[in-house]
Structure 1
Amino acid sequence: MPRKGMRNIFFKSPSLTRMTPPSSPLHHTFSESLMEENIEVAQFIITKWDSSHDDNLVSLFSDKDEARQYLGSIKGLQKAMKYLVLHQSNSEKLVRAQLLMQTAMQRLQNEFYQILKSNRDYLDPESVSAHSSSRPSVSRSSFSEFEEEEEEEEEDESENENDSVPEVETASLAAMADLRAIAEAMISAGYAKECIKVYKIIRKSIVDEALYHLGVERELTFQRIQKMEWEVLEFKIKNWLSAVKMAVKTLFYGERLLCDQVFSVSAAIRESCFTEISKEGALALFGFPENVAKCKQTPEKLFRILDLYEAVSGLWPEVESIFSFESTAAVRATAVNSLIKLGDTVRTMLMDFETAIQKDSSKTTVPGGGIHPLTRYVMNYISFLADYCGILSNIFEDWPFTVPSALPESYFGSPDSEGSISSPISVRVAWLILVMLCKLDGKAAMYKDVPLSYLFLANNLQYVTEKVRQSNLKFLLGDDWLINHELKVKQYAENYEKIGWSKVLASLPENQTAEIPADRVNDHFKKFNSAFEEAYMKQVSWVVPDPKLRDHIKISLARRIIPIYKEFYESNGGVQMKKEMWGESFIRFTPDDLGNYWSDMFYGSRSSGSVSSSSRGGGRSH
């Protein structure tokens, strides 16, 4: 080994000369003999374990007593060399001591290498991170305390015989203690470079291999990602999402702990080792989300972007702690840049989503006034967004939203009320729904039948409110929003009933109990029959998909029409008309028939056949 380490040893303490009192010949002779003894002891032990001897294949650290003696001899050799530098700098003993030190350092370097290689399974980041918190005293041991530590271990073993310490943990702790003792001995002797070189080569290969098996691809540049089909990129995003937590919480965290413990004697060396081992892989890991965010996006890809943002932001405390060194600032910056770029992309994509709603120009109407595809698409999209409400709140926290137009207080709620919509993301979601509802108003106008347009609005708004109620949207929009929009559903339904069945009601006299001439009674029944049949035939193909809305409309129609018709029927049809044999032809519906037809219309087969009934109750019931 080179002798360049001597300068570090000999002149480690500039004040050493000043602190050494003038020595008498007797003191000089005693000290010299003591130093000579240290050299003799060191020569015996170091030569015994000289790695150039073929018969010394057994690890020095397999025998703790031998290892303790070996490290102790190095410590004594260092003292002797310091003494000789001060008093006999030209002595052959100094040259001899230096050669012994080189031999010892070569042996320790080999031991360091072998311990790292042979204990690879015990020193994997998962094992290190798993037991680090349970053994905080591990990092306290050092080269100078090696002897005391070994004695304490013997005592601990006898005191903790019943403790169930896993074998892997025991082996891992022992390997780290040996590595730490060797590292401190080599660093103290001025051979830090040799020790560090071995450590970096072995541990970097382990980290790189682990990242490879996790699926972290370093060659995934922005140019490559930009050219990928979405299905391929989405697959890689999923792989990254499953890898990043393991990489940060286990791989990098465990590697940082191992560095901190092995090189506890030097903060600078800890930083240098960890940075060279982990920086390149960490930059590749956290550069991926930023590159994805830079690609051209469509609204459908938003949820994967949110997944990436959620993963990086959730791991930020660990990233900040693990990569706290100044030399790893680039890793922190890359993670932060990824968050910034992902956040910008999310905001842009939501703006694009709003624009897409506004630009929807489909002119086709949904048969029967059912749920429009735009309603399904937008509400499914927004309900998925609500699952990311926490992340979205962070993204939009510093981006307040100003509603482009004045909206009624009934839409967003009173600003002073507890149920008002106030958070930035809540306002944005409410605005998106409003934009969609405005588009639906335009689509409702495409129906030629006014009652069908109101039924269309009722159906679609009912779909909206149910989506809100059944998802996390209810927490974003609040109870007031739901109550207000459920009232609007009922208003649309009421408008449908009033207009769609107005002719049926108009066919009956205003006073059902008043005495009416027979010819006028016949005329009222004829008008009623015609109006009811016309309404039924037109509306039998209309749909009400939601069961609750269907029940509400049927019950509301029954309450609106049946009592009036029943009173007229019983006053005229039940008594007077039944006396006339020809009267039956004027009474085509009994009060019960009306309910049966509505049941058929809302719950039946939706056939468009003719209305056929009689006073004997011949309606279709289901």
Structure 2
Amino acid sequence: MGDCGFTITNHEVQHHIAAAAQHILMALKACRNLTDDNRKVLSDLNSYLPNEMILGESGGGMLMDMEEQIRHSEGIIMRWESHEGMIWDSGLAQASEYLNSVREIQKIVVAIGGLPVPSGGKPRELCLRAHCILQIAMSKLEEELIHILIQHKQCYEPEYMSFRSCVEDVVYDESFVSAEDEAMESVSRGDNSGSSSEQCLVDLVRPEVISAIKSIADVMSASKHDKEFCRAFVGARKDALDEYLVILGMEQLTFEDAMKMDWKALSCEIKKWVWALRIIIRVYLRSEKWLCNQILGELGPVSLSCTFIEIAGAAMLLFLNFGEAVAMGPRQPERLFRVLDMYEVLADLLFDIDTLFIEDAGSFIRTEFHELLARLGNYVKGAFSEFRNCIASDQPRKAFSSGVHPFTNYAMNYIKTFTAYRETLDLLLRNPEEDGMDPSPETEKGAEDSSYSSCPLARHARLLASILEANLENRSKLLKDESLQHIFLMNNIHYMVKKIKDSDLRQYFGDEWIRKQIGTFQHHATDYIRATWSSALSLLNDSRRLDLNPFNRSTPRDKCKNFVAAFEEVYKSQTGCLVPDPELREDLQISTSQKVIQAYRSFLGKNSAQIGDKYIKYNADDMEKLVLDFFSGSSRSLRSSRRR
């Protein structure tokens, strides 16, 4: 009998080898504590055996299932590549189908990655195909994300959040007249910290699409495309913020642009800056960070922080650059109140800024805003000092006969405005000696000991009033007529007192200061009567003593004639003088009547018979009526009239 040969085919050999290899692989993988030798055996098997041998018959079926699933998902994904519409615009069913298809592809990629050898053969082919489809899907989802963010963004309308500065610009020129007081009085400071601008959250994107955006974020993150998602999200939200800044009227001004602007234009930009910064910080960026947290919260704090900083950073630099340009500008008095508005709103928002940008990524924004606040504070102190120097060094160019001088009006309205910024100025002027602004000891005399009258602002306000009074004394000396000097000083000091009495300045100056200044302008009123009428009244002197003055030896008729002539000259002069305050004008007219008309009445009572009625041009009652024309600001003459 011949040898019986047992023939084994090549296929069977491969099948047995594969089965043995699978048992070895399963045993090695089940072992929790692999030795180095075990790992080497596993590695050698993986690198030596072909994929089909490891996968076996069941593995081949699995690959076929994967391929079929890829084909199905690919069809759905590629259909939208040729479709002109947007997925989410077509409805939730279409969006869900698309996302499910992407998720299926992601599962296949993960499954193939778990196979022993995903780097060759059929698994490699399927893996490359799946990755290609995923890349197409990621691009489409990025496009969908941008479309959703643009189409469903919402704009916060700040209709009730208006900003009013405490005053219009207080700028001195010769046209700054007392009539402007009424406008100044009617302007009250806006409540910059009003409830309308308190922290609040608003929906910057319609709430119904938040889940869609989150779904896109989850799917893109699962495919390790979270950076691409964040980039698209940041781009869309930055554009939305830029559009909102335009709505608020904030121009994209560079540092150089702001430095070159004239003051009128810059003042308008500052008002918009103050108003817009409060809205952006308190409402918009707070809501933006809330939106970022809703969408990106699960991606981790680093992604959330960096994304928000990227969205807000450019806008914050816009505000900072403008603030820096203002802080580096000339420290002129007319700019003080605008910069005070900037300082106060920034000081009020500093906590909000620190909270919004609390993470390390936002530290540069926090630091820059703190430094800007300090620079604005230095600017305020410098401009305040310049205002004091302006009052002290202003040289009058020409005489101002009567009324309230425009410079007095300007200075007092300026000083009055300080009260609207009391807390801020008290803080910034707390150590005035450091800035060369320490008020002189004389200004403290007579000030009541109260929280208002002893605060830094009160001390400086009294110093400024003292300097202004000295300035007025110098201006009065330009008038050659002594009586006009007294009217000028009486008008202007009375105006200062009235401005202080009728405003919050009264708390800072105190009643004793007011009483003292009332005595000062009353003294000027008395001196005016003396300087104006002493010569005329001497003509009515009834003394019979020997005197070298020829008028004193005149007859009563001559005396009456000369007195009337003197009265007419004074009438022409004093009707041209202006005493704008009605009460002060009436008091001065009454004083004149009591001093002058009473003397004339007495003279006529004693001498009317000697004078003769036909030689009495004006009786006492006529003159008393004529005195009512005094200080009207319109010069008149009586020489052509016989009797009123």
Q: Compute the TM-score of the two structures, normalised by the length of structure 1.
A: 0.69
Instruction: Provide the residue aligned with 1:557 in structure 2.
Output: 592
Residue 424 (str. 1) matches residue 445 (str. 2): no
Paired letter, 1:583: G
Shift of 1:269: 1.0
What is the deviation of 1:461?
1.3
Match of 2:517 in 1: 485
Q: Counterpart in 1 of 2:631? A: 602
What is the match of residue 329 of structure 2? 295
Other-structure match for 1:49? 76
**Residue 520 and residue 185 in structure 1: after superposition, are their counterparts in 2 closer, same or farther (change >3 A)?**
closer
User: How far 1:181 moved relative to its partner?
Assistant: 2.5
Listed as ranges, the matches of 1:328-343 within 5 Å are 328-343=362-377
Instruction: Give 1:48 deviation, angstroms.
Output: 5.5
- How many Å separate the matches in 1 of 2:322 and 2:328? 10
Please show how residues 173-212 of structure 1 align to structure 2 within 5 Å. 173-188=207-222, 190-208=224-242, 210-211=244-245
Question: Partners of 1:270 and 1:45 in 2: how far apart?
Answer: 35
2:150 pairs, out of 120, 124, 128, with 120
Shift of 1:539: 5.7
Distance 1:313 1:417 in 2: 27
**2:382 matched residue in structure 1:** 348
In 1, are the aligned partners of 2:203 and 2:287 still within 8 Å (CA)? no
Instruction: Report how many residues are paired.
Output: 526
Q: Match for 1:402 among 438, 447, 454?
A: 438
Mapping of 1:209-608 within 5 angstroms? 210-211=244-245, 220-222=254-256, 224-230=257-263, 233-234=266-267, 236-237=269-270, 240=273, 243-245=276-278, 247-249=280-282, 251-265=284-298, 266-362=300-396, 364-367=398-401, 369-384=402-417, 388-389=421-422, 391-393=424-426, 395-397=428-430, 399=432, 402-407=438-443, 409-410=445-446, 413-414=447-448, 416-417=449-450, 421-468=453-500, 473-474=505-506, 477=509, 481-503=513-535, 527=559, 530-531=562-563, 533-534=565-566, 536-538=568-570, 540-542=572-574, 543-546=577-580, 547-563=582-598, 565-566=600-601, 569-570=604-605, 572-573=606-607, 577-578=608-609, 583-584=612-613, 587=616, 589-603=618-632, 605-608=634-637
SS of residue matched to 1:113: helix
Distance 2:88 2:559 in 1: 111
Q: Partner letter of residue 435 of structure 1?
A: I
CA distance in 1, matches of 2:229, 2:304: 12
Sort the Cα spacing of 1:492 and 1:38 in 2 relative to 1 into closer, same or farther, 3 A. Answer: farther
Summarize deviations over 1:16-71 as a string: whole Å, max 9, x none: x99xxxxxxxxxxxxx9xx9999799758744532466566651685445655776
Shift of 1:423: 2.7
Contact preservation (8 Å) 2:154, 2:203: no
- One-letter code of the match for 2:443? L
Letter in 2 for 1:596: K
Moved more, 350-359 or 96-105: 96-105
CA contact (8 A) 1:323 1:332 kept: yes
Mark the runs of 5 or more structure 2 residues left unpaired by the alignment. Answer: 1-30, 33-58, 161-201, 544-550
Q: Which is worse superposed, 327-336 or 258-267? A: 327-336
CA distance in 2, matches of 1:50, 1:75: 11
Task: State the 1:532 CA deviation.
Answer: 6.1
Cα deviations by residue, 1:362-405 (Å, 9 ceiling, x for unpaired): 363223x3333432342344345555556544543564753124
8 Å contact kept, 1:46–1:100: no
Q: Distance in 2 between matches of 1:41 and 1:481?
A: 97
The answer on whether the counterparts of 1:454 and 1:492 sit within 8 Å (CA) in structure 2 is: yes
Kept after mapping to 2: 8 A contact 1:42/1:100: no
Structure 2: which amino acid aligns with 1:443?
R
**Counterpart for residue 14 of structure 2:** none
Shift of 1:276: 1.8
Q: Deviations over 1:519-553 (max 9, x none)?
A: 99985675466456425514632313322211110
The one-letter amino acid of 1:406's match is E
- Whether the 8 Å contact between 1:509 and 1:524 is mirrored in structure 2 is no
Is this contact kept in 2: 1:600–1:606, CA < 8 A? no
- State the AA in 2 paired with 1:198: A
Counterpart Cα distance in 2 of 1:124 and 1:604: 61
Per the TM alignment, residue 563 of structure 1 is displaced from its structure 2 partner at its CA by 4.6
User: Closer, same or farther in 2 for the Cα pair 1:467/1:98, shift >3 Å?
Assistant: farther
The residue aligned with 1:24 is none
User: What is the Cα deviation at residue 554 of structure 1?
Assistant: 0.7
C-alpha spacing 1:370/1:123, structure 2 compared with 1 (3 Å): closer
1:110, distance to aligned residue in structure 2 (A): 2.2
Give 1:277 deviation, angstroms. Answer: 2.4
Relative distance call for 1:475 and 1:66 in structure 2 (3 A) is farther
Equivalent residue, structure 2, for 1:141: none
CA pair 44-178 structure 1, distance change in 2 beyond 3 A = farther
- 1:464 maps to amino acid: M
- Residue 111 in 1 paired to residue 141 in 2? yes
Distance 1:584 1:243 in 2: 79
1:59 matches 2:92: no
SS in 1 for 2:327: helix
Whole-angstrom distance in 1 between the partners of 2:86 and 2:541: 114
Cα distance between partner residues in 2 of 1:42 and 1:496: 108
> Matches of 1:521 and 1:38 in 2, distance apart?
141
Paired residues of 2:87 and 2:94 also in contact (CA < 8 A): no
| Whole-Å separation in 2 of the counterparts to 1:250 and 1:502 | 71
CA displacement, residues 205-241 of structure 1 (integer Å, 9 cap, x when unaligned): 443455467665656234x544454455456546645
Counterpart in 1 of 2:183?
A: none
Q: Is the Cα–Cα contact under 8 Å of residues 86 and 144 in structure 2 kept in the other structure? A: no
CA contact (8 A) 1:309 1:342 kept: yes
Deviation at 1:329, TM superposition (A): 2.3
Q: Relative to structure 1, is the Cα distance of residues 393 and 187 closer, same or farther in structure 2, using a 3 angstrom cutoff?
A: farther
TM-score (norm 2): 0.67
Find the aligned partners of 1:492 and 1:486 in 2 and give their Cα distance. Answer: 10
In structure 1, what is the Cα distance between the partners aligned to 2:450 and 2:630?
42
Q: 1:264 to 1:552 in 2, by over 3 A?
A: same
Q: Is the 8 A contact 2:331 2:386 kept in 1?
A: no
Higher deviation after alignment, 55-64 or 597-606? 55-64
AA at the equivalent of 2:460: R
Query: What is the root-mean-square deviation in Å for CA atoms of aligned residues?
Result: 4.6
Unmatched 5+ stretches in structure 1 = 1-16, 19-31, 131-167, 512-518
* Letter in structure 2 aligned against 1:258: L
Match of 2:17 in 1: none
